[in-house]
Amino acid sequence: MAKPETVSTSQMIANVAAKFDQLPKKITKEVIADFLNTVESEVASGKKLRIDKIGILQVKERAPRMGRNPQTGEEIKIPASKKIAFRAAKSLKEQVTGSRSPAKAKKAAVVAKKKK
């Protein structure tokens, strides 16, 4: 399997700036940088952050537990810690896997049309 292409923040800024001619690249860069800083600070403060069409980022507490040193087999105490958890949104999963059934896609289109 080929290694996936990595899109950097500067490439993302250039892509967004290209879509909006009236918005200077410098302002686009500031907006995206501020968005990323806000995401970082909200998650770091322990809040659950839900970003539509992307997913949920949150901090999860890990309880202290006993583990083993794989080299010696000796039991060691692993202290409590925090980790960042990400759960992808359903729409993102469907977009990646292409698993959205034609019936569901048609139903979603009908619902969207009724809302207008």
20 pLDDT above the threshold of 70:
yes
Whole-angstrom CA distances from 3 to 6, 15, 73, 93 are: 9, 22, 36, 20
Q: What is the identity of the amino acid at 105?
A: A
Please answer whether residues 50 and 39 qualify as being in contact, where contact means their C-beta atoms are separated by less than 8 angstroms: no
Q: Which of 26-35, 76-85, 98-107 has the lowest mean pLDDT?
A: 98-107
User: In this predicted structure, what is the pLDDT of residue 115?
Assistant: 62
DSSP E strands: which ranges in the chain?
A: 49-51, 55-62, 65-68, 75-78, 81-88
Q: What is the pTM of this model?
A: 0.71
2 pLDDT above the threshold of 90:
no
69 pLDDT above the threshold of 80:
yes
**Higher pLDDT, residue 105 or 5:** 5
Q: What percent of the chain has pLDDT over 90?
A: 77
Mean local confidence (pLDDT), 75-91: 96
**Residue tagged 């410098």 (tokens):** 26
Please answer whether residues 84 and 42 qualify as being in contact, where contact means their C-beta atoms are separated by less than 8 angstroms: no
